Structure 1
Amino acid sequence: MAGEALLGVDLGTSGVKAVVVDLRADVLGEADAVYPVRSPRAGWAETDPADWWTATVAAVRRALAAAGRPRVAAVGVDGQMHGLVLARADAVPVRPALLWADRRAEAELEAWRALPAAERQALANPLVPGMTGPLLAWTARHESSALAEARWALLPKDWLRLRLTGKAVTEPSDASATLLWDVPADTWSAPALRAAGIPAELLPPVAASDQAAGCLTAAAAAELGLPPGLPVAAGAGDTPAALLAAGTAGEEAAQLTVGSGAQIVTAAAEPTAAPGVHVYRTAERTGWYRMAAVQNAGVALEWVRTLLGATWEEVYAAAGEGEADSGGVVFLPHLTGERAPELGRCGALAGLRLDTGRAEVLRAAVEGVAFTIRHAAALLPDGLPPVVRLAGGGSRDPRFRALLADVLGVELRPVRLRSASALGAARLAARATGLPMAPPRPHRDPAVHPTRRKEIYDVKFEVYVNHLKTHQTEPPRRAAASRHTTAPTGHSETV
C-alpha cells in the first residue's frame, strides 16, 4: 500500500479546502478556494452550488500538484451542516443553496412546535430556521415550482458528492442535524416530513459515513485531474469529521472549539434532548455527541476590532491586562442572535462612562465572548468536566486561553491539527476502501489552569447575566440587506 494517498474535501460556508494525505496521516498537499455567500434579502444566506464546484476543482487540482500528484486511492467529503440544496437528478441545482445561517423559515418552525411531545423529542434538537426541514417547508410554501422541479433535497456536501459520482446519498451525522431525523431511531422522521409538507421521495437513501457511496464519474474526474472510478465515501458533517480526525480524547471528555463561532462538544451515551443543546450522530457507525453552540465568538470580536480600528494584538493584550477589570463595561456579543435564545438575541454594550477607553471596550468584548461560552456550557446536562480539550484558530493566543480557563474554571488542554475536517473526510475514505490509516497526531500545547482570577470572573459573570436578562428582545429588522454579504461561519473547523 506504500505510495497510496487519500483526498479529503471540506466544503465550508465561504470556502472549500482540499487535502491530500498519506496512510501515515501526513499531509502531502493542501489548497483552498473561496466563494461568496449572498444575502439578497435581510436574513437570507445563499450560495450558488456552481461556485462550490468551481472552487472544488481549483482546490483539488492545486492540492494534487502540491502533493506531487501521488496515486489517490479514494475520496472523502465533509461540509457545512444544515442548509438545503434542491437539485435535479443530474445534479443541476434548481435554485441557489440555502445555508445554515439563513433565517427565512422562522414562521415555518411553528409546524415543528405543533408536533406531539414524543415526536418533537425524537428530533432531539433546538428548532433552528436554517436547518433543512424548515427550509424545505419554506420552499414548499413560497417556491413550489422549484420544489416540483427538484429530484433531490440535499445537504451541501451531499450535493457535492452527487456532482462527483452521479449518485444521491446522505449519512447519519449530517441527516441528524436536519430536524427531519428521528435521532433515537436513526432514520427519517415521518412526522417531521409531514410538518415540512414534502414527500419522502425527495430525501436521498442513507449510507454509513465510512461506506463507499459511489465512484468518481469520468466527467468529474477529468475536471479534477483524477482517474475515473475512484470510490467516494459518504463522508460526514464538518464537526463530526473533525472530531473523527482528532482521535480519542483520553481524559478530555469535552472539547471547546473557538473560531468565528464556538462549539462545546461532549459524548452522549443516549440521544436524549436537552433544552438549547444539539444532539447529533457521530461519523462512526454508532454513537452521538451533544453540542452547545455559540454563533458569536470570533465574528463578534472581529466586529469590535474593526469598529475601533484595533489590531488583533491590541484585542488579546486587553484580555491579559490588569486584575480582570474592564471598568464596569459589559459587552453582549450576540450580533447575529444565538441558536439558543436564552444565550442572547441581540448585541449590547453597557456600563460606558466618560473615562471609558478603547482598552476597556476591547477587554469587555473578549470577556463577553468568554462569558457566552460559559453560559452555553451551562446548558449541557452535565456541564463541563474538570478537563477540556481546546481547539480552533480563535483560541491560539495564550492570553485568551488564560482568560477562558479562568472564566470556565476548568483545565484547558490546547491541541492543534492541521485541516481537521478535511483530514476526517480522508480518514472516512480510507475506511471505505479498507486502507489502514495511522492514528492522528495532533500537536499539544501546554495545559492552561485557572488562576486566582476565577473568583473575580465568577462575580463578573453574574453581572453579565443580569445585563443579558434586560436585553432579551428581538433586534429590529432591517428593511434591506446587501446582496453580497458573508454569513458567519458557525461550523468552523473543530481542531
Structure 2
Amino acid sequence: MLFLGLDIGTSAVKAVIVDDKEAVLAESEQPLSLSRPGPGLSEQNADDWIAAIETILTRWQAEQPALLAAVEGIGLSGQMHGSVCLDAEDRPLAPVILWNDGRAAAEAAELNRDHPDLAWRLGVPAMPGFTAPKLLWLARHRPELRARLRRVLLPKDYVRLWLTGEHVSEMSDAAGSWWLDQAERDWSDAALAASGVERSQMPRLIEGTEVSGGLRPALAARLGLKPGIPVAGGAGDAMAGAIGIGAIADGAFLSLGTSGQFFVPSTEYRPLPDKFLHTFCHAVPGHWVQMAALLNGASCLAWAAGLVGEPIEKLLAEVAALPPGPGRVLFLPYLAGERTPHNDAEATGLFAGMTGATGKAELIRAVLEGVAFSFADAATCLAEAGTELSEAAVIGGGARSPLWVQLLADVLGLRLLRYRGGEKGPAFGAARLARSATSGEPIGAIATKPPILDIAEPRPELTAAYADRIAAFRRLYQAEKAAR
C-alpha cells in the first residue's frame, strides 16, 4: 500500500509518497510566495497552496502515473494558526493572515486581560499570531469582510476542503487556534464567545488518526488518484514532524524549519502558560505536547543569504572555515517578532559588535548562533517547567546542515541526533497518519523512530564559552526593547 503525505508549509508545499515498509518512493516540493504588505504583516493566498499541490501531482502524473494510481490514503500537515476566512460559497474572503503576522497584538493583549483564566484551558496565553485574535482584528478593522464570514479554517484544512468537500480539523492544529479546550479536546465555548465566533462557524473536530472524508471523484480523475480514498485528520506541522520521527510519548526534538520549535511529547496535559510554553494536543489520541515556539528559524539564514546574494551552501562552507566557537558579532533573530519566551510581536532583528573588518562569514555565523541562542532560551523555559533533557533530535530543513546541528549541540550542551529523512518530517508524518487512518493500524506501531544518521556531541569547552554569549544575547534583547 502507498500513502501520500502533503505538508502545507510557509515557504513551500512538500509531498512524499511512502510505501508500507516506509520507503519514500517519491518526493517533491513547490515554492510558495509570501506577501508582507506592511511592517509586521505576513499573508498568503490560500489558493496558492492548491496550485502548488496540483503542480506536484500533475508532474508526478506525467512522470510516474502508476505510483499515483496506487495511493490508498492521504495525510495532511500544515503551518499552524493561519486564518482562512470563508464566505457562504467556501471561498476565501481575503489573503490568509499567517502565524508570523503581528497585527493582532492589541487584540491578543485584550483577550489575556479580560479572560486571564482561559490560558490554563487553552494551553497558552493568547498571542498575536493565533487565529482567535485575528478574528477580533478583522471585526474591528475589516467589518465588511467579517460580516460575510461563514466559516474559519486552518491552512491544511482548507486543502482538506478542496480534497473532500468536508469542513474538518483535528486536535493538534486546532490546538493552536486559541479556541480549543486542550484537556477536553473540544472547542471552548468561552474562548469562541470571547472572540465573537460561533460553533457553527467552526469545523468538525476529529483525531489526527481518523478519516475526515474521501477524495472527491472529479478531483481524483483529474489528478490520477483513486476516487474516495481516505483523507486522514493529519496534524499541525510540528506534531506531524513528531509523528515522522516517532516522538509520540517520548523523544524531544528541535524543528529547524522556517520557524522553530522545541518539542516534548507527553501522555499528560501539563500547562504552564506563565512561561509562554505551548501545551497543546498531540495528533495522537490521549497525548499532548509541551512546545516552545520560535517565530524565526531557518528563515533567518535564507534572509541573510538573500541580502548578500550568495547560495546558502557556499556561505555555510565559509563559516565552516572559521575557527570553532563564539564569534564577535551578535545577532538578534527576531525578524518576525518572537513568542517563547518573550511574547513580543514588536521585537526586531539586530546585528551588534561589527567592525570595519567584519566579513560576510562572520555575519552568517552570527545568524546561526542567534537562532541557536533562541533555542537556548527555549530550553531554559522547558527546564523551568520541569523538563530536563540530555539529548534531542533535530528535524526540518535546517537539519540538512551538520555545521548548524553541531553549533546547536555546543550552545545547548545537548547530544543532538539526526535521523535519516528527518528534513522531510512533517510530510512523512502526514503519510504515517494516512496509513493509520486507512489501514486501522495503531499509530504507535507505525510511528517508530527512523535510523540515526549521525550524532552531534556537545563540546564542553565550547558550551562553556557560549554561556557568556547567551547572557550577552539576552542583554541585547533588553537593550533593543528599551530603545523602541
Considering the TM-score relative to the shorter chain, is it more than 0.5? yes
1:56 corresponds to which residue? 53
CA distance in 1 between partners of 2:240 and 2:225 (Å): 23
| One-letter amino acid matched to 1:413 | L
Contact 1:75/1:232 (CA < 8 Å) preserved in 2?
yes
From the superposition, tell whether residues 316 and 337 of structure 1 become closer, same or farther in structure 2 (CA, over 3 Å): farther
Question: Residues of 1 paired with 2:253 and 2:117: CA distance?
Answer: 30
Q: Which residue number in structure 2 is paired with residue 22 of structure 1?
A: 19
- Residue 454 in structure 1 maps to residue 469 in structure 2: no
Q: Within 5 Å, give how 1:311-390 maps onto structure 2.
A: 312=312, 313-315=314-316, 317-318=318-319, 321-322=322-323, 324-326=325-327, 328-340=328-340, 342=342, 345-380=347-382, 381-390=385-394
Residue 435 of structure 2 corresponds to residue 430 of structure 1: yes
Instruction: Give 1:261 shift.
Output: 2.6
Change (3 A) 1:308 1:205: closer
Q: Which residue of 1 aligns with 2:31?
A: 34
Instruction: Quote the residue 1:464 is aligned against.
Output: 473
Cα offsets for 1:73-106 (capped at 9, x unmatched): 2222221111111224543223232221222222
State the shift of 1:253 in Å. 3.5
Matched, 1:10 2:14: no
Cα contact 2:10–2:79 (8 A) shared by 1: yes
1:66 counterpart = 2:64: yes
2:289 is aligned to 289
Separation in structure 2 between the aligned mates of residue 390 and residue 315 of structure 1, nearest angstrom: 18
Change (3 A) 1:319 1:291: farther
Aligned partners of 1:324, 1:376: CA distance in 2, in Å? 21
Q: How does 1:229-268 map to 2 (within 5 A)?
A: 229-248=228-247, 253-268=251-266
Amino acid paired to 2:5: G
Q: Distance in 2 between matches of 1:128 and 1:17?
A: 27
Inter-CA distance 319–366: structure 2 relative to 1 (3 Å threshold): farther
Match of 1:442 in 2: 450
Secondary structure of the residue aligned to 2:205 is coil
Cα shift at 1:370: 1.7
Which structure ranks higher in relative contact order (CA pairs < 8 Å, sequence separation ≥ 6)?
1
Give the Å deviation of 1:132: 1.1
> Is structure 2 residue 114 aligned with structure 1 residue 110?
no
Q: Compared with structure 1, are the counterparts of its residues 17 and 463 closer, same or farther at alpha carbon in structure 2 (3 Å cutoff)?
A: closer
- C-alpha distance in structure 2 between counterparts of 1:404 and 1:112, whole Å: 35
Q: Any idea what the Cα deviations from partners look like across 1:449-481, whole Å, max 9, x if unmatched?
A: 222222211222222222222112486xxxxxx
CA distance, structure 2, for counterparts of residue 50 and residue 106 of structure 1: 27
Q: Structure 2: how far apart are the matches of 1:199 and 1:248?
A: 34
Superposition map of 1:78-97 within 5 A: 78-88=77-87, 90-97=89-96
> Offset of 1:163 from its aligned partner?
1.5
In structure 2, the CA distance between the partners of 1:315 and 1:126, relative to structure 1 (3 Å rule), is: farther
| Root mean square deviation, CA, Å | 2.6
Partner of 2:278: 278
Q: Is the 8 A contact 2:207 2:233 kept in 1?
A: yes
| CA distance in structure 2 between the aligned counterparts of 1:291 and 1:474, rounded to whole angstroms | 30
* Distance in 1 of aligned mates of 2:189 and 2:208: 22
What amino acid is the match of 1:433?
T
Q: CA deviation at 1:333?
A: 2.0
Counterpart of 1:117 in 2: which secondary structure?
coil
**Cα deviation, residue 130, structure 1:** 2.1
Provide Cα deviations, 1:245-296, integer angstroms capped at 9, x if missing partner. 211489x741112233321111243231231211111110111111112222
Which amino acid letter does the alignment assign opposite residue 421 of structure 1? Answer: P
Secondary structure of the corresponding residue to residue 445 of structure 1: strand
Tell me by how many angstroms 1:198 deviates: 2.0
What is the CA–CA distance in structure 1 between the aligned matches of 2:70 and 2:483, rounded to whole Å? 54
Matches of 1:200 and 1:47, distance apart in 2: 25
Pair 1:306–1:419, CA change in 2 (3 A): closer
1:244 Cα deviation after fit: 0.9
* Alpha-carbon contact 1:76-1:428 (below 8 Å) kept: yes
Alpha-carbon distance in 1 for matches of 2:218, 2:7: 21
Letter of the 2:27 partner, please give it: E
Counterpart-to-counterpart distance in 1, 2:161 and 2:308 = 45
Q: 1-side partners of 2:224 and 2:324: how far apart? A: 57
Which residues in structure 2 correspond to 1:204-223 (within 5 Å)?
204-223=203-222
> Any idea what the Cα deviations from partners look like across 1:401-457, whole Å, max 9, x if unmatched?
222222111111222326321222222222222255855563422322222222211
Aligned residues: 470
Unpaired runs of at least 5, structure 1: 476-495
Secondary structure, counterpart of 2:381 in structure 1:
coil
Matched-pair contact (CA < 8 Å) for 2:240–2:427: yes
Secondary structure of residue in 2 paired with 1:379: helix
Q: Give the match's secondary structure for 2:455.
A: coil
Give distance in 2, aligned partners of 1:34 and 1:364. Answer: 27
Cα distance in 1 for partners of 2:467, 2:394 equals: 21
* Displacement after TM superposition at 1:147 (Å): 3.1
Percent identical across equivalent pairs? Answer: 35
Q: Secondary structure at the match of 1:227?
A: coil
Contact (CA 8 Å) 1:14, 1:35: kept in 2 or not? yes
For residues 41-190 of structure 1, the aligned pairs below 5 Å read 41-64=38-61, 65-66=63-64, 68-69=66-67, 70-88=69-87, 90-190=89-189
State the Cα deviation string for residues 31-60 of structure 1 (Å, max 9, x = none). 332332223343332222222222222222
Contact (CA 8 Å) 1:319, 1:366: kept in 2 or not? no
SS of the counterpart of 1:389?
strand
Q: 1:74 to 1:181 in 2, by over 3 A?
A: same
SS at match of 2:28: strand
For 2:329 and 2:31, locate their aligned partners in 1 and report how far apart those are by CA, in whole Å.
Answer: 37
